[in-house]
Chains A and B, each alone.
Chain A
Amino acid sequence: MKTLEQLEEIRNKYKQFTDMRTGESANAGECRRQIMVCCGTGCTSSKSPKIIEAFEQELLKNNLDKEVKVIKTGCFGLCALGPVVIVYPEGIFYSLVTPEDVPEIVEEHIIKGNIVKRLVYSETLNDDGSVKAFGEVGFYKKQMRVALRHCGFINPENIDEYIAVGGYKALEKVLKSMTREDVIKEVKDSGLRGRGGGGFPTGMKWQFTYDSEGGEKYVACNADEGDPGAFMDRSVLEGDPNTVIEAMAIAGYAVGAQRGFVYIRAEYPIAVKRLENAIEQAREYGILGENIFGTGFNFDMEIRLGAGAFVCGEETALIHSIEGMRGEPRPRPPFPAAKGIFGKPTVLNNVETYANIPVIILNGAQWFKNLGTEKSAGTKVFALGGKINNTGLVEVPMGTPLREVIYDIGGGIPNGKKFKAAQTGGPSGGCIPAELIDTPVDFDSLVSIGSMMGSGGLIVMDEDNCMVDIAKFFLEFTVDESCGKCPPCRIGTKRMLEILKRITEGKGQDGDIEKLETLAKTIKDSALCGLGQTAPNPILSTLKYFRDEYEAHVYEKRCPAGSCKALLSIKIDPDVCKGCTVCAKTCPVSAITGERKQAHFINTAKCIKCGACVEKCPFNAISFK
């Protein structure tokens, strides 16, 4: 148990460490350097825990373990360059570090003070050989980190660091000086809308739950981040779990709940562990439990694990899953605010939404409202992926044009390819074509062009991606993840997928495109839940912007992007072929003939398009066309 005074002491004690990272202080007592090692899922996969170990050994060996601290952090965002290591107070950003590089960093940088240039993130290297602050490079410069404010900056496994950067001050403010109504008003005034996909005003949800009659109420956090390619919620939980705890406690106070549930994907073991750890520490400090800060307010929370069902991101399905049932949605009303977990009024928000709450409380609704656009206040985190140079996590003010996100922050398309489309909103969203690349990214603009914000996955596609194939990919996902309760989703999405499959296999029939449109409309109008209703979006939006590609597949049996295998044939470029005969020997069906040292030919009638020859050709003379 800690009193507010004790928390203030902790804050002051640890502040010198965090100040060192902002450059406000050169040392923290005897500690004169901090080595931050990213331990998000991406960097952990690339062995960052080994890097920490290596640093600790190397420092011990050199008797530097008191002077130099190695600190585990959450995600820095630039996953493509992981593992990432940042050395403070200089703020040197090392990328693609391996455990083997560690002795060199310690020897050269820590001991001798020479930056190891071969490991420095190239964008931070100036032409003259000097190194600039990583905040100045394109990837970070245009970002604005609100929800991610602590990710990569503090140690997520140490509650003291969170307290040092002002953690739990918002909860203190709420409990000590605000009424429940004040809190709800503040959230309403901020204009915060749900970051999970729907964009429903958060303050309204809180108000409805507050208004609901009935003794027990619950606060729930949706951390069942299921959009393929989206991982912002995971990063928040991995990098700053205390923020979510603090926000949920604030929500609990506002709506009159004493118990919280975090429903989190079991596929996120690191996030689960860090959140468990944070809950444990918060309990020890008396931040969770009874009579918090001596105000008489009680609140505690627990974790419930998902088990691999995308549909559980839908709120009523999530509630059923927490209740130990099949994660099937039910019609609303009643909404969770009236009838939620175990039948009790429940306020349910997603991780990123909660991550904004403490800042809104501390900085005020107006501050938040001034960020972003009029109807979409604040910032939004995106997971950049696909054909883009800087894959990773970025946070920008709402309304930032897509072009800035893709080119200025994302570093553009690799290998000199052309940008074709960006997909937002995952299986519920749609594609934004090149001609709309200046669209501002906010809730309403995206909906107006047939996509949606979704939870924030942003997948970039280049000219090699076939849009029919992409639609098929998302439908495969939806069919797989449909709960099976209502016919439009259970059968309708399956029928759409069957049509898409035959189109990409060159068996498309006259009328197929129209059938897709009819089905899409039916499903949109009549599916039981939001997931079913949005399942046709990938088809509708690709049909809207890339109808010619569908038509090429159906009527000309041609895949313009050169991606659908069934519509391609393998050709040997006679000018490049040296007649080495490797391909003929490789071909499993003897479809390739030719004389030694002469150009070879493929009998297309025999060819099964397995691609073995393409792989084996030493001269790259064979390709799909």
Chain B
Amino acid sequence: MAIDNEMLMNIINKNKDNNGALMQILHDVQDSFGYIPYEAQKVIAEELNVPLSEVYGVITFYSRFTLNPVGKYKVGVCLGTACYVKGSDKVLERIENILKIKAGETSADGLYSIDATRCVGACGLAPVMTINEDVYGKLVPEDVDKILAKYK
């Protein structure tokens, strides 16, 4: 795919001279493009003068960075300890059944992707799910249907 080269170069140039710039560049690219496309990795590798294998190795090490576009609605289910002991796995199961995709996948229409996340820190609200910036807490599996219906 074609990427916005100017945006990419701005990101790289902004961080380039900082020691250990790779992480911050990847963060910014992830935030701007929604994922880290190959085309961007290639440019980053050239500009930072590191092998592509290193850039790719860093991306695939950290779970926050993705190689593929994620859905318009990023559904996250917290599987942190507090949520897990309160049954967040059942919430996840229900979401998977409704959206017919598994955690880590994106629906064919590009609308949804599901993530089984680490603790989001809202343990008081356990079990918790998030959709993009919205947080839903104290869930029972049945709540999921209504919540998902809001995101079309």
Contact = CB atoms under 8 A, between A and B. Distances in A.
Interface of A: 41-42, 45-46, 78-82, 226-231, 234, 266-268, 304-310, 321-328, 342, 383, 385-387, 391-392, 423, 426, 457, 459, 461, 465, 470, 473, 483, 615
Contacts of A306: 62, 64
A228 B127 CA distance: 13
B146 to A, nearest CB: 16
Interface of B: 19-24, 26-27, 54, 57-58, 61-65, 79-82, 84-86, 117-126, 128, 135, 137, 141-142
Contact of A465 (B85, B118, B124): B85
Contact of A323 (B20, B84, B118, B122): B20
Nearest to A426: B81
A439 B62 CA distance: 38
Looking at A309, A386, A461, the one whose CB has the most chain B CB atoms below 10 A away is: A386
A267 B137 contact: no
Contacts of A457: 81
A386 B57 contact: no
B65 A459 contact: no
A406 B65 CA distance: 38
A459 B121 CA distance: 13
Given A226-B118, A459-B81, A385 B123 contact: yes
A327 B21 CA distance: 14
Contact of B64 (A308, A386, A392, A426): A308
A35 B15 CA distance: 41
Given A79-B122, A327-B61, A386-B85, 14 more contacts: A42-B125, A45-B125, A228-B81, A267-B118, A305-B27, A308-B62, A308-B63, A309-B62, A322-B23, A385-B124, A386-B82, A391-B124, A461-B85, A615-B141
A326 B61 contact: yes
Given A267-B121, A307-B26, A322 B61 contact: no
Contact of B118 (A46, A310, A327, A473): A310
B137 A46 contact: yes
A459 B82 contact: yes
Given A229-B82, A305-B23, A386-B82, A325 B123 contact: no
Contacts of B118: 226, 228, 267, 308, 310
A461 to B, nearest CB: 6
B125 A229 contact: no
B58 A325 contact: yes
Nearest to A78: B124
Contacts of B79: 228
Contact of B123 (A266, A309, A342, A391): A391
Contact of B124 (A42, A304, A326, A342): A42
Given A45-B135, A307-B63, A342-B20, A324 B123 contact: no
Contacts of B22: 324-325
A79 B81 contact: no
A228 B23 contact: no
Contacts of B57: 326
The 6 closest A-B pairs by CB, nearest first: A79-B124, A385-B82, A324-B22, A45-B135, A307-B62, A308-B64
Given A304-B23, A386-B85, A45 B122 contact: yes
Given A45-B128, A228-B80, A473-B81, A268 B121 contact: yes
Given A391-B126, A465-B85, A473-B81, A42 B23 contact: no
A324 B65 CA distance: 13
Contacts of A326: 57-58, 61
Nearest to B63: A308
Contacts of B122: 41-42, 45, 79
B105 to A, nearest CB: 17
Among B24, B79, B80, B124, max chain A CB count under 10 A is at B124
Contacts of A324: 19-24, 58
Nearest to A261: B20
A327 B119 contact: no
Nearest to B142: A615
A583 B140 CA distance: 20
B27 A342 contact: no
A461 B86 CA distance: 10
A325 B50 CA distance: 11
Given A307-B62, A309-B63, A326-B61, A41 B121 contact: yes
A325 B79 CA distance: 27
Nearest to B31: A266
A615 B137 CA distance: 20
B81 A229 contact: yes
Contact of A392 (B54, B124, B141): B124
Contacts of A234: 121
A229 B79 CA distance: 10
Contacts of A615: 141-142
Contact of B80 (A229, A305, A309): A229
Given A307-B27, A386-B82, A231 B137 contact: no
Contact of A45 (B54, B64, B137): B137
